[in-house]
């Protein structure tokens, strides 16, 4: 039997939820509209101030307007706009912000107890490209919070200063995996100009730095790194050898094939796997016999990469695959059947078995 009292209570609760949800949506919409309005107003105010910068008599007024916006709610927006100014005007604005004490304030806030205050100040300093802020950004790379460390790394990259680039490369591998990956990605974004720094790190850095330097150099595919990457194939650290052989494979340069082939006999399976993959990218038929031997490897990944490399070589690998098929190693035979079938040349008895 229906309880009308319970029904009325339920309907009242549902009505209350609808009213509260509607009210919250209206408030949120009004807040968003207000935020968009104040943002646009601040942006217009900033751009008007920029127009006054070339006029000596109005420059002081422009500096005050810029400082007011930069130090307020939309400081990150202002810093990004200042970063787009031509060099002479940007330097003039930064000097004015230093005199006003704003830069010193952001430097203090970069050490705030509040995570997002630190992150915000670091982002602003990075956009402003203030050389004096490099030590603060470097210190923030050791921040207890990963988000702040990421912001610091990104800010250093945006500065495009040699000191900042040297600092970023110098800390490759010194942080946790996520931050190191972020720094590596930033080094890749900065492009070939970081290659000499990375080569030095590959030659002289600690193991994790050598690993990350090799990975970044592989992405950059800079010819200047080939010799150092070749030397790194003899590195005592497994991860470094693996990264170096992978990096050489990214260049797909046949001249590096003789350097890579010996890594097919490396004691570590993942180094052998990357060596097989690299030879597949290089695509030199001279390495087909060595790749054929890897079809017998105990590691599935090594066999798979060798198989893929032989398939990529095409017709020159057919004799090697035929010998593997006729051999007594089960792994090599299975791989050869798969490769030959993929290439459209399965052994006759396999075709016969398939039809029976």
The single-letter DSSP state of residue 139 is: H
What pLDDT does 164 receive? 72
Asked if residue 29 is part of any domain, the answer here is no
Extract the tokens encoding 243: 């990264």
What pLDDT does 196 receive? 92
Residue ranges of the alpha helices (H) in 101-237?
A: 102-109, 115-128, 134-140, 146-159, 162-170, 177-190, 195-204, 207-220, 226-232
Asked if residue 72 is part of any domain, the answer here is no
The single-letter DSSP state of residue 324 is: H
Extract the tokens encoding 2: 């229906």
Nearest Cα neighbor of 152 from 128, 132, 179 is: 179
Q: How confident is residue 179, by pLDDT bands cut at 50, 70 and 90?
A: confident
Residue pair 237/212 in contact by the 8 Å Cβ criterion: no
Asked if residue 211 is part of any domain, the answer here is no
Distance in angstroms (rounded) separating the CA atoms of residues 90 and 114: 29
Report, as an integer, the average pLDDT of 265-292.
Answer: 95
Please state, as a whole number, how many other Cβ atoms lie within 10 Å of the Cβ of residue 305.
23
Q: How confident is residue 23, by pLDDT bands cut at 50, 70 and 90?
A: confident
Rg (CA), the chain: 31
pLDDT at 150 over 90: no
Residue pair 256/286 in contact by the 8 Å Cβ criterion: no
Residue pair 190/216 in contact by the 8 Å Cβ criterion: no
Residue pair 275/304 in contact by the 8 Å Cβ criterion: no
Number of domains in the chain: 1
Asked if residue 327 is part of any domain, the answer here is yes
Question: Has this prediction a pTM greater than 0.75?
Answer: no
- Give 303's Cβ-side CA count (13 Å radius): 19
State the residue range of the domain holding 325: 252-350
Asked if residue 233 is part of any domain, the answer here is no
pLDDT at 296 over 70: yes
Asked if residue 265 is part of any domain, the answer here is yes
Backbone angles phi, psi at 178, to 5 degrees: -65, -45
Distance in angstroms (rounded) separating the CA atoms of residues 152 and 137: 5
Asked if residue 53 is part of any domain, the answer here is no
pLDDT at 209 over 50: yes
What pLDDT does 138 receive? 82
CATH number for the domain that contains residue 322: 1.25.10.10
Distance in angstroms (rounded) separating the CA atoms of residues 102 and 94: 9
Asked if residue 153 is part of any domain, the answer here is no
């Amino acid at each position: 039997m229906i309880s009308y009292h319970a029904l009325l209570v339920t309907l009242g609760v549902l009505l209350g939820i609808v009213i509260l949800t509607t009210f919250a949506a209206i408030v949120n919409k009004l807040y968003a509209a207000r935020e968009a309005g104040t943002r646009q107003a601040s942006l217009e105010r900033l751009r008007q101030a920029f127009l006054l910068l070339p006029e000596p008599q109005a420059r002081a007024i422009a500096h005050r307007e810029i400082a007011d916006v930069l130090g307020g709610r939309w400081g990150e927006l202002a810093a990004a706009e200042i970063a787009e100014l031509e060099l002479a005007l940007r330097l003039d604005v930064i000097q004015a912000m230093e005199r006003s004490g704003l830069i010193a304030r952001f430097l203090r806030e970069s050490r705030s107890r509040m995570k997002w205050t630190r992150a915000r100040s670091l982002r602003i300093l990075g956009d402003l490209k203030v050389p004096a802020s490099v030590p603060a950004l470097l210190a923030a790379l050791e921040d207890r919070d990963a988000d702040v460390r990421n912001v610091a790394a990104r800010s250093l990259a945006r500065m495009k200063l040699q000191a900042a680039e040297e600092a970023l490369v110098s800390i490759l591998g010194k942080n946790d995996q996520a931050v190191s990956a972020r720094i590596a990605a930033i080094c890749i974004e900065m492009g070939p100009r970081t290659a000499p720094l990375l080569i030095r790190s590959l030659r002289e850095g600690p193991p994790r730095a050598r690993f990350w330097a090799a990975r970044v150099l592989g992405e950059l595919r800079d010819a200047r790194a080939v010799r150092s990457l070749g030397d790194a194939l003899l590195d005592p650290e497994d991860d470094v050898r693996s990264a170096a052989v992978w990096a050489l494979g990214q260049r797909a340069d046949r001249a590096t094939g003789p350097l890579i082939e010996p890594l097919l006999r490396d004691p570590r399976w993942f180094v052998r796997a990357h060596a097989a993959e690299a030879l597949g990218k290089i695509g030199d038929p001279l390495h087909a016999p060595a790749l054929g031997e890897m079809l017998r490897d105990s590691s599935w990944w090594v066999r798979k990469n060798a198989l893929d490399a032989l398939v990529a070589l095409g017709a020159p690998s057919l004799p090697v695959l035929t010998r593997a098929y006729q051999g007594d190693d089960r792994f090599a035979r299975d791989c050869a059947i798969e490769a030959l079938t993929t290439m459209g040349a399965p052994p006759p008895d396999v075709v016969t078995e398939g039809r029976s």
